[in-house]
Amino acid sequence: MTSRTTTGQATDRPRRAAPEQAAASTLADDQEAPFDQDRLPTPPGSSRALLASLLRPHSRRLWASALLVLLQQGAVQSGPLLVVVAIDTAVPALRGGDPVPLLSVAVAYLLTAVLAGGAQYAFVRQSGRVSQDVLLGLRTRIFRQLQDLSVDFHDRYTSGRVISRSTADVENLRGLVHNGLQDLVEIALSTLYISAVLLYLDWQLGVAALASTPVLVRLVRSLQRRSMRAYRRKSTATASVVVKLAETLNGIRTVRAFRRERANDAAFDVVNRRHELASGDASLEMTRYIVFSRLVADTAVAVLMLWSAYRVATGMLELGVLAGAVLYLRRLYDPIDRLGMLLNSYQAAAASLEKIAGLLLQRPGVPPPATPVELPVPRGPGPGRALVVEAASFAYRTGGEVLPRTDLALRPGSTVAVVGATGAGKSTLAKLLARFHDPTTGRVLLDGIDLRDLTDADLRRAVVIVAQEPFLFSGTVSDNIEIGRPGATREQVVRAAEAVGAHAFITALPDGYDTDLRARGGRISAGQRQLVSFARVLLADPAVLILDEATGSLDLPGERAVQYAMRTALHGRTAVVIAHRLSTAETADRVLVMADGRIVEDGAPADLVAAGGRFADMYRAWNESLR
Amino acid sequence: MTPTPALRRSAARTLLRLWPLIRPVRVHMITAVCAAVFATGASLTIPLVLKWMVDGPVSTGDLAGVWAGGAVLLLMGGAEAVLAGLRRWVLARPLARVEASFRALLHARLQRVPMAFHDRWSSGQLLSRVTSDLNQIRMFLSFPLMYLVVNGTTILGGYAILLAQRWTLGMVLLAPVVPLLVLCAVFESRYLVASLRAQDQSGDLATAVEESVLGIRIIKGFGRQRHQIDTLVGLAGRIRDTELDKARQLAVVRAASALLPELALGAALVIGVAQVAGGDLSAGTLVAFLTTALALRWPVESIGSLLAMGNEAAAATQRCFEVLDEPEEGEREPKPTAVTTTRTGPGELVFEGVEFRYPDALAGSPPVLRGVDLRVRAGETVAVVGATGCGKTTLTALVTRMHDPTGGRILLDGVDITDMPRERLRTEVAVAFEEATLFATTVADNVLLGGDGLGEADMWSALEVAQAAAFVAALPQGARTEVGERGSRLSGGQRQRLALSRAIIARPRYLVLDDFLSALDIRTEVLVEAALHDVLADTTALVIAHRPSTVLLADRVALLSGGRIAAVGTHRQLLRENTEYADLMGSGPQLRGGGDDR
Ligand SMILES: Nc1ncnc2c1ncn2[C@@H]1O[C@H](COP(=O)(O)OP(=O)(O)OP(=O)(O)O)[C@@H](O)[C@H]1O
Ligand SMILES: Nc1ncnc2c1ncn2[C@@H]1O[C@H](COP(=O)(O)OP(=O)(O)OP(=O)(O)O)[C@@H](O)[C@H]1O
Ligand SMILES: [Mg+2]
Ligand SMILES: [Mg+2]
């Protein structure tokens, strides 16, 4: 046990080595700041623009719906008219022995009733279709964007926020698109109609009544501004609730094992309380608006009434006209409440749309090429491709430089093992090779072509990475393996599973390949999850594969089965294998030893052992443990 | 993936289950209803006042009367505004509080239900309950519920007046009630089902969205973005289809509730006119009758939408109660032996014929663990080694009672752990899981959650042991650095070492470490093991290991095979004597031709 006494210094490289690096990191921090916020930066008016762009494709159907509302309103409003006709004409006519007017009223009534009902039916269906299409369109945009954004973005934005954006925030729009149109049309119709009637009956009264509009507009503006603030906070609070709970659910074992339940309750209370406050605030803003707008309206009615009385007394207005106008005067202000509610749901939607717009406006950190270059057929004898890292360096947005300038060339078809201390940057290198990130400087070339110039489809067909954390989706075993090649036959899936030695345990599951693995593959063991992840790679059959500790949780026989599968089924592929167990490294063609982001040793395993450097040390320690 | 509830209640009965939550705000709700009624009253009298002014003071030129009328108008208007405001104001905060307390209740319950519950439920389903379902319930309480009451009363009152005015005509107007009631009943049951389906589907969507983000590396790594988008859009499309189905049902009800009363009104009009013409009825009575009938139009029409919202709220309520009906993890009555004062120093951990079978295992298949007998002596470290999927993690989960054994028992210091309160058990036993779970907070918070009342010094010494102090100190904000969601800003080995620090920080009497060094390189592993020796000296530890280097940490090794402990001994002993063990540990490095020391 020689190496146990070699008390190594820090295994991790201090990340603030040089002052200029510190400066770079503060800069990076600044750039990063928006990612951590719930509300990503948006230009003003972006929520309105987003809403408009969502509605535009449906404009014809929206007009049709509006027409249906008009039709229905027309039919409904003609009811009282028919009553008047019936009493004024049909009664005398009937007394005179003429049933025709009554019959025509009856038929007209029947028609309007059917029309009202029919228009109502058609409207509800039509607007349902439009609004659902709008929501689906919005969701589709969100989903596309989510898949376009880089890994880096998602690490910061967190899944909880994404869930909140694509569920709660989208649902906030639902309220608006479901009822908004009908409200809007009816409010506009009623206001226009009654203003017209008022103006017609007594234009002075009409104009005076409309003079209260500026005050109401100011109330509306203030409602919009203030409730927007409340709804923004509410949407943020909803997201925090989701983030908190999602985290608890995902880490429920840890929560339980460390008795965090009460601490979590307290932490949850904080965000829950924030949500409660914002939600109450929004309701109170609405209350404020209702009280003030009602007061304005009722005062206006009273004042106008007094003024009219004065005019009647001075003979400027006929009593009969006033008698007619006065009831309309009151009805002019009827839609105020509905307007408030419409605005309320508009603001709720706008606050959410603003957040969604912020998400949609993010540019992918790993952008697709402007002019893609096609990947040539492999040059080498086998299916493998050459990977070259050219003067590449890399820094995460949140930290200092992790990989200083690195050069590396991997021959097609070779298997290269990467070993080194934890935190040395092995995974980071792997992520650059798979273009999860782009290098800060320099470039990575696949068969001579910059990864940045390849289409995603080409790149992913050629290079496949098995990330350090195996991730299984809820769904069946075969769904999970098929991620390697969608549409693969069951036979192909089974063959891949057999090759990695997963077939036996899969067939022992209750429904074999059709067993639901549950969230994150919770139904199977850690090693079994790694086997399933690896089976994906066999199906994908890439030219270059990158395994980031893909076998770390397997027992040695399992690991050997995987290695055998690599040598046979994936023979001739270029492979980059990161592993801590040297049983993997010793079978490689070439070993890279990494320390502090640099490649410090590079050579065939046997040569490195013979040369007596770090790898030789590790190798000795490894052998010790086997004896 | 929602387990379908066996029992379907009617919407009303489901909503009644909300009563305990609403109870604290019942006074507010009643006040709001009264305010709504009076506000309606005020707004109905304003036109009357206007009419009176025109017919009275204005026409007669009675100046005082006009001023009085104006004053009354202002008063009524003010009352209307204040009452309408009161109705909202009185409920604004209380209903938000009801929602929040319901949410807190759900959150608390979710943390305390048996682990098997979380195996069954996807997180999206739970998240959607805690957000959108609760939101729907609050919305229903704040508006539709009240209007169901107010409008229902208005309709009843209105019909009573109509019948009193002219019962024959009143009966004509009542004719559509029966078909409407039937329609509403049919609608209610179907709409409730559709609402449930819609909510379940949006829960499924939430799950899929979460996975598409957490699994983004896999999706991108295999270039499956298109496929993933299609899946998500497919799920969203299912929601759309359900919503369209709901819209269709709603359209029928709304159209019927507009059409049928209107037809009845038309019929009443025709009959009334005939009666007026025949002299049986005065024209004034007919006008009054029809005016009342027309006034009832909106309350009747609104019932369809209100019922729809009621059904959606009922669906939401049912979904929330699916969680609340799940009982919390029970505690057994502590036996007198269990209530001993907390001991210090290491204790003994004994597995006695422990059997375990997952509830959803294939019928007839053997249990995962079928009679594990193992004694870990006080202060001893025992490594458990076994093939992939043989049940090692399952065994560790039993120690902290994530699951309870289906047979046999586990003893700590001679006390059956099922006789201990879980809280105490989990204070005594600390674990590091095979997948290091970090929370999206600072390094310090993540490590300090390993125990109560610990400070910076404890943290650093724990980090020291896990060889994590150096890298933590070098992080941009040291121990105050945020680690990101699931620790994504750290390397695999860094995460694992933080999880280890968390397990050892409180110096627990028992330590369960599941494959906790798998992501460490050999050099670091050696250092961690050396430092751990001190900690393990006064701790009873159960260590799961895959690598020989980790096994070296243990005093003894137990081989788990076929659901039993097949062999126990020291590493070297087993390596020599047990072929299965030697196989698992690797038969020796292949560079040298392999296996020359066996
Ligand atoms: N998303 C990130 N943001 C900021 N820093 C990061 C991020 N991911 C990794 N790092 C840092 O970069 C360094 C290298 O990490 P990397 O994951 O490449 O290490 P590794 O060699 O794979 O280690 P291990 O063997 O533990 O997996 C570490 O110090 C880590 O803290
Ligand atoms: N939640 C579960 N429900 C049903 N079966 C499960 C569940 N978790 C694990 N299993 C099954 O029980 C067996 C034991 O799993 P366990 O996780 O204990 O294995 P393990 O020994 O820890 O393996 P590994 O070395 O891969 O971590 C496996 O065959 C697995 O498929
Ligand atoms: Mg790594
Ligand atoms: Mg395990």
Top pLDDT among A327 and A200 is at A200
**Beta strands A544-548; A574-578: pairing state:** parallel
In angstroms, rounded to a whole number, what is the distance separating the alpha carbons of residues B368 and A509? Answer: 12
State pLDDT tens for residues A136-192. Answer: 999 999 999 999 999 989 988 889 999 999 999 999 999 899 889 999 999 999 999
What is the nearest CA distance from B210 to chain A, expressed in angstroms? 6
Residue B315 sits in the same domain as residue B410: no
Q: A253 and B55: CB-CB below 8 Å?
A: no
**pLDDT, tens only, B461-480:** 999 999 999 999 999 999 99
Give the mutation target among B354, B357, B358, B515 for probing the ligand 2 site: most ligand atoms within 8 A of CB: B358
Nearest CB neighbour to B221, from listed A291, A465, A508: A465
Q: Which residues of A512-548 are buried (b: 16+ CB within 10 A; e: fewer)?
A: ebebbbbbbbebbbbbbbbbbbbbbbbbbbbbbbbbb
Cα(A619) to centroid of ligand 3, in Å?
20
Query: Distance between CA B118 and CA B135 in Å, rounded?
Result: 23
Residue B420 and residue B338 in contact, taking contact as beta carbons nearer than 8 Å: yes
Answer yes or no: is B198 within a domain.
yes
Is-contact A558 A504, C-beta < 8 A? no
Chain B residue with minimum CA distance to A321: B54
Whether B115 maps to a domain, the answer reads no
The two counts, helices (H) then strands (E), for chain B are 25, 10
Read off the pLDDT band of A1 (50, 70, 90). Answer: very low
How far is the C-alpha of B522 from the C-alpha of B543, rounded, in Å?
17
Q: Are residues B267 and B202 in the same domain?
A: yes
**Optimal mutation site among A3, A524, A625, interface B, most CBs of chain B within 10 A:** A625
Give the minimum alpha-carbon distance from A43 to chain B in angstroms, rounded to a whole number. 26
Are B172 and B244 members of one domain? yes
Chain A positions in Cβ-Cβ contact with residue B225 (cut-off 8 Å)? 147-148, 456
Q: Is B388 touching ligand 2 by the criterion CB < 6 Å?
A: yes
Q: Which residues of A78-107 are buried (b: 16+ CB within 10 A; e: fewer)?
A: bbeebbebbbebbbebbeeeeeebbebbbe
Residues having CB within 6 Å of any atom of ligand 1: A 12, 155, 396, 398-399, 402, 422-428, 468; B 488-494, 519
Going from the Cα of B43 to the center of ligand 1, the distance in angstroms, rounded, reads 68
Instruction: Report, as an integer, the average pLDDT of A203-227.
Output: 91
What's the average model confidence in pLDDT over A63-72?
93
* Cβ neighbours of residue A33 closer than 8 Å, sequence gap 6 or more: none
Contact (CB<8Å) B126/A245? yes
For residue B500, what pLDDT is reported?
A: 95
Q: Output the residue whose Cα is nearest ligand 2's atom 2.
A: A523
Tell me: do B287 and B388 sit in the same domain: no
Question: Does residue A546 carry a pLDDT above 70?
Answer: yes
CB within 8 Å: B217 and A155: no
**What is the number of domains present in chain B?**
2
Does residue A25 surpass a pLDDT of 80?
Answer: no
B chain contacts of residue A309, beta-carbon cutoff 8 Å: 53, 57-58, 66, 69-70
Q: Look at residue B8 in the predicted model and tell me its pLDDT.
A: 57
How confident is the model at residue A512, as a pLDDT? 92
Helix (H, G, I), strand (E, B) or coil at B411: strand
Sort out which chain B residues have CB atoms less than 8 A from A308's CB and list them: 58
CB A72 within 8 A of CB B262: no
pLDDT of residue B333: 65
Residue B551 has pLDDT above 50, yes or no: yes
Q: Which among A12, A123, A483 has CB closest to B218?
A: A483
Whole-number mean pLDDT of chain B?
89
**Ligand 1 geometric centre to CA of B436 (Å):** 15
CA B388–ligand 2 middle distance (angstroms): 8
Q: What percent of chain A has pLDDT over 90?
A: 63
- Smallest CA-to-CA distance from A300 within A340, A334, A342 is with A334
Enter the tokens of residue B458.
């404890």
The tens digit of pLDDT for each residue in B394-444 reads 999 999 999 999 999 999 999 999 998 999 999 999 999 998 899 999 999
Percent of chain B with pLDDT over 90: 60
Dist. CA B392 → ligand 2 center (Å): 8
Helix (H, G, I), strand (E, B) or coil at B341: coil
Q: Is residue B549 part of a domain?
A: yes
CATH of the domain at B187: 1.20.1560.10
Residues of chain A with CATH 1.20.1560.10: 45-360
**Of the candidates A598, A426, A422, which has an alpha carbon nearest to the alpha carbon of residue B528?**
A422
Dump pLDDT digits (tens) for B498-511: 999 999 999 999 99
Look at A27 and B220; give whichever has higher pLDDT. Answer: B220
**Is there a contact between B240 and A133 if contact means CB atoms under 8 Å apart?**
yes
Residue A8: predicted pLDDT: 38
Q: Find the DSSP H helices in A314-361.
A: 319-332, 336-361
Neighbours of B433 (CB within 10 A): 24
pLDDT number for residue A500: 92
Instruction: Tell me, yes or no, whether B290 and B363 share the same domain.
Output: no
Question: Between A and B, how many CB-CB pairs are < 8 A?
Answer: 591
Predicted confidence band at B548 (pLDDT cuts at 50, 70, 90)? confident
- A10-40 CB burial, b ≥16 within 10 A, e <16: ebbbebeeeeebeebbeebeeeeeebeebbb
The tokens describing A315, both together, are: 């003979």
Quote the CA–CA distance of A531 and A500 in Å, as a whole number.
6
Asked whether residue B172 is assigned to any structural domain, the reply reads yes
Task: Find chain A residues with C-beta within 8 A of B591's C-beta.
Answer: 586, 605-606, 609
For A273, the closest of B100, B202, B583 (CB atoms) is B100
Residues B368 and B292 in one domain: no
pLDDT tens sequence across A249-295:
999 999 999 999 999 999 999 999 999 999 999 999 999 999 999 99
Instruction: Return mean pLDDT, chain A.
Output: 88
Q: Place A578 in a pLDDT band, splitting at 50, 70 and 90.
A: very high
Q: Do residue B296 and residue B413 come from a single domain?
A: no
- What are the beta bridge partners of residue A574? A544
- Kindly determine whether residue B591 and residue A586, on different chains, have CB atoms separated by under 8 Å: yes
**B194, two tokens:** 């559709």
Domain endpoint, select from B271, B294, B326:
B326
CATH superfamily of A45-360: ABC transporter type 1, transmembrane domain (1.20.1560.10)
B300 φ, ψ to 5°? -65, -45
- Cβ atoms of A334 and A300 closer than 8 Å: no
CA nearest to B327, candidates B120, B114, B14, B103: B114
Neighbouring C-beta atoms of residue B597, cutoff 10 Å: 13
Nearest ligand atom owner, CA of A554: 2
CATH placement of domain A387-626: 3.40.50.300
**Min distance A42 CA to chain B CA atoms (Å):** 22
Shared domain check, B263 and B355: no
Q: Quick one: pLDDT at residue B453?
A: 87
Q: Which of A110, A120, A506 would best serve as a mutation to test chain B binding (most B beta carbons within 10 A)?
A: A120
Of A132, A248, A287, nearest to B111 by CB-CB distance is: A248
Q: How far is the CA of B554 from the centre of ligand 4 (A)?
A: 18
CA distances from A116 to A190, B164, B295, B308 (A): 17, 29, 17, 20
Question: Both B307 and B410 in a single domain?
Answer: no
> How far is Cα B3 from Cα B125, in angstroms, rounded to an integer?
11
Q: Which two tokens stand for residue A70?
A: 């008009």
B178: left (phi over 0), alpha (psi -120 to 50) or beta: alpha
pLDDT surpasses 60 at A27: no
Domain of residue B212, residue span: 167-326
Residues B303 and B401 in one domain: no
Q: For ligand 2, atom 3, which residue shows the shortest CA distance? A: A523
Please check whether residue B265 lies inside any domain of the structure. yes
Which atom from ligand 1 is nearest to the alpha carbon of B488? 1
Nearest Cα residue to atom 18 of ligand 1:
A425
Same-domain check for residues B317 and B356: no
The rounded distance, in Å, linking the Cα atoms of A536 and A479 is 10
Q: How far is the CA of B390 from the centre of ligand 2 (A)?
A: 7
Of the partner residues A102, A140, A254, the one whose CB lies closest to the CB of residue B273: A102
Task: Categorize the per-residue pLDDT at B338 as very low, low, confident or very high, splitting at 50, 70 and 90.
Answer: very low
Ligand 1 atom nearest to B471, measured from its CA: 29
Where residue A590 falls among pLDDT bands split at 50, 70, 90? very high
The answer to whether residue B176 is domain-embedded is: yes
Measured in angstroms, how far is the CA atom of residue B456 from the centroid of ligand 1? 24
What lies within 8 Å, CB to CB, of A271 at 6+ separation is A237, A240, A241, A244
In this structure, what CATH number is given to the domain that contains residue B368?
3.40.50.300
Of all protein residues, whose CA lies closest to atom 27 belonging to ligand 2?
A526
pLDDT, tens only, A416-444: 999 999 999 999 999 999 999 999 999 99
What residues of chain B lie within 8 A of the CB of A398, using their CB? 476, 489
Q: Check whether A21 has a pLDDT greater than 50.
A: no
Q: For residue B337, what pLDDT is reported?
A: 53
Which CA distances in Å does A320 have to A301, B63, B164, B284, B578?
Answer: 18, 18, 33, 20, 112
Q: Is pLDDT above 90 for A18?
A: no
Residue B552 falls within a domain, yes or no? yes
From the CB of residue B156, how many other CB atoms can be counted at a distance below 10 Å?
11
pTM across the whole model: 0.91
**CATH 3.40.50.300 placement within chain A:** 387-626
Tell which one of A15, A16, A427, A576 to mutate to probe ligand 1, the residue whose CB is within 8 A of the most ligand atoms: A427
- What residue type is assigned to position A622 of the chain? W
Whether the per-residue pLDDT at B70 is higher than 60: the answer is yes
Nearest atom within ligand 1 for CA of residue B493: 26
The Cα A426–Cα A547 span in angstroms is 11
Q: Does residue B547 belong to any structural domain of this protein? A: yes
